[in-house]
């Protein structure tokens, strides 16, 4: 029972972070280890910067606003 509550809390926390734009670094590291073993992994700072750039399009304008 406690294990299920912990999993639910983890899921809700991850969902809340993604809703406000905070990327999940732990999942990124786990996925890289599975998909690309032996290849370098970005630091948290580099990962966060890359995700923000991807979300907000820093330096790029993909809309007709400008």
Q: What is the pTM of this model?
A: 0.60
**Does residue 66 belong to any structural domain of this protein?**
no
Per-residue burial over 9-43, b if 16 or more Cβ lie within 10 Å, else e, is eeeeeeeeeeeeeebebeebeeebeeeeeeeeeee
Tell me what the mean pLDDT of segment 7-22 comes to: 81
45 located within any domain: yes
Distance of CA 21 to the CA centre of its chain: 8
Q: Give mean pLDDT, residues 35-48.
A: 92
Q: What is the pLDDT of residue 51?
A: 85
- Location of structure tokens 């820093």: 58
Number of domains into which the chain is organized: 1
Query: Domain span at residue 49?
Result: 22-59
Domain assignment of residue 7, yes or no: no
Could you tell me if residue 4 is inside a domain? no
**Residue 11 lies inside a defined structural domain of this protein:** no
DSSP secondary structure letter of residue 39: S
Is 64 inside any structural domain?
no
Q: How far apart are CA 55 and CA 47, in angstroms?
A: 12
Residue 8 covered by a domain: no
């Amino acid at each position: 029972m406690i294990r299920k509550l912990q999993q639910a809390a983890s899921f809700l926390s991850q969902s809340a972070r993604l809703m406000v734009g905070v990327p999940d670094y732990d999942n990124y590291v786990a996925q890289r280890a599975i998909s690309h073993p032996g290849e370098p992994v970005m630091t948290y700072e580099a990962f966060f910067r890359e995700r923000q750039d991807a979300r907000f399009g820093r330096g790029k304008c993909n809309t007709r606003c400008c």
